[in-house]
Amino acid sequence: MSKMGCVGGQGENSLKWWQLSLIGVGCIIGTGYFLGSSIAIKMTGPAVVLSFMLAAIGTYFVFDALAKMTASDPQKGSFCAYAKKAYGRWAGFSCGWVYWSSEILIIGSQLTALSIFSRFWFPNLPLWVFAAGYAVLGLIVVLAGTKGFERVENLFAIIKVSAILMFIIIALLALFGVLDGREPDLKIPDTAHELFSRGFKGFLSSLIYAFYAFGGIEIMALMAINLQNKEDAPKSGKIMLILLTIIYVLSIGLAVVMVSWRSFNTKESPFVIALEPYNLDFFPHVFNGALIIAGFSTMAASLFAVTSLLVTLAEEGDAPSFFAKKKKTSQRETGKERPPWPAIGLAAAGLASSVVLALLIPGKIYEYMTTAAGLMLLYNWFFILLSSGRLLQLTNWDKAKRILGMMLITLAVSGTLLQKTSRPGFWVSLLFVVIIGLVVFKMQAVWKKAER
């Protein structure tokens, strides 16, 4: 997920490779993992650990290709610029709008996750009430245009990582009998049937949620421009993904062996459910509070990103020019960046849609939004791999990684068609792609006329 705040405050050529790795870990972990992993567990059972391992491998192939393109030809527009260079203006246009659409869906997914977390304390309040409240707060933060919010984003990233580390430490203490002295009752699968409790169909269906937890690598490529040594970008991404995979696999692995996978649901974080039998009264409240703070920062940062992205599209002629208009500032506010009103208005319309959906389909909205958002991200990832084939001199191993990455993405996309709960998300993502495709078809004539 794009985290604009995570890149704030970094000067040109100021980052060391390990700093970029740590920033990436903090920025990528989000509500998609804290809550989306529950959906993956319900779909496949203990094999969810393998789902995250495969998603990590596929994510690395995509990042490696993107980092190499960044190292050889740094571009402000990153993957959209490379798509345009490889296949023409239609590709850059499509890439930009697919990414914008994915960000809008991600914001909706985050908004819903925050609402679900909040109902932990207020179970009788409708989901849409929280969604509306967080949407308004998010817009207030964006309208304020404050640099102070960007400065605390790294603190929020630390909160997210700390929440997972807290769970891992407490879970290990519980498993070793330190917490209450009782013998741990581990639910370790010892047969293929127990491992793949929902069969291969369920395993494939869970891949999209595992990939979604790694969403945000594209912002890493944008940040790679600030590396002291651009050639360190692939190494930085590799270390980042290794750290992220260890954190993900260890935490979710502990969760599924502590309680039966059938205990998990989409209304609570799997990490809270895993520790319920140990009567830790403080943990659910502390953990839930940390998730809400960190999740809101992610949503607000995504709102900053999506408005800025729309401005960039407008400046490059890939969106109506009025979206590039900035709100006028007073003399006292000179030099203070404020997002443009039209771009904010379009983002607000996306937020309003999420609130309405939370009112109409409160039981399934998170799953639908997360599936659609994950798919839109993967469409762009697939195009990153396509572009690398045209823009880079690939070795045989690079070609193999490119093909394997495309295969894993294809498996994750096709897996959403196998479950009736994830299928609507696929059709929503396809609707976005069709609309963008029709606009591209219409714009072809305009671009040809402009070239004459």
**Conformation bin of residue 3: beta by default, left when phi > 0, alpha when psi is -120 to 50:** beta
Cβ atoms of residues 1 and 215 within 8 Å: yes
Q: What is the pLDDT of residues 230-279, one digit of tens each?
A: 777 778 888 888 989 999 999 999 999 888 888 888 778 888 888 888 87
Mind giving me the DSSP string for 225-283?
Answer: GGBSSGGGHHHHHHHHHHHHHHHHHHHHHHHHHHS-GGG--TTS-HHHHHTGGGT-SHH
Give pLDDT, residue 6: 54
pLDDT at 408: 96
* CB-CB neighbours of 148 under 10 Å: 7
DSSP state letter for 327: P
So what's the pLDDT on residue 331? 47
Question: pTM above the 0.75 mark?
Answer: yes
| Spatial separation of the C-alpha atoms in residues 431 and 411, rounded to whole Å | 20
Query: What value does the CA radius of gyration of the chain take, rounded to a whole number of Å?
Result: 21
DSSP string, 335-375: T-----HHHHHHHHHHHHHHHHHHHH-TTTHHHHHHHHHHH
Q: Enumerate the β-bridge partners of residue 393.
A: none
Q: Assign 190 to helix, strand or coil.
A: coil
Tell me which residue of 152, 145, 10, 102 sits closest to 309, measured CA to CA: 102
pLDDT, position 401: 94
Spatial distance between the Cα atoms of 278 and 55, rounded to a whole number of angstroms: 31
Which pLDDT band, with edges at 50, 70 and 90, does 2 fall under?
A: very low
Contact, 225 vs 70, CB < 8 A? yes
Q: What's the rounded mean pLDDT across residues 155-165? A: 83
CA distances from 30 to 40, 129, 364 (A): 15, 22, 20
- Is 125:132 a contact under the CB 8 Å cutoff? no
Distance CA 265, CA 203 (A): 17
Task: Tell me how far apart the alpha carbons of residues 374 and 431 are, in angstroms, rounded to a whole number.
Answer: 14
pLDDT-derived band of residue 320, with 50, 70 and 90 as boundaries? confident
Higher pLDDT, 183 or 60: 60
Distance CA 318, CA 320 (A): 7
> What is the per-residue pLDDT across 269-295, written as a single tens digit (0 to 9) for each?
888 888 888 878 888 888 888 888 878
Cβ-contact 256, 48 below 8 angstroms: yes
- What is the tens place of the pLDDT at every residue in 47-105? 999 999 999 999 999 988 988 888 787 776 678 888 989 998 898 899 989 988 888 88
pLDDT at 334 over 60: no
Q: How confident is the model at residue 400 (pLDDT cuts 50, 70, 90)?
A: very high
Say whether pLDDT at 228 is over 80.
no
Extract the tokens encoding 193: 């049937």
The pLDDT score that the predictor gives to residue 184 is 62
Pick the more confident residue, 28 or 336: 28
The two tokens of residue 417 are 């068609």
Q: Which helix (H) or strand (E) holds 15?
A: none
Sign of CA dihedral 56, 207, 7, 94: positive
Question: Does 187 have pLDDT greater than 90?
Answer: no
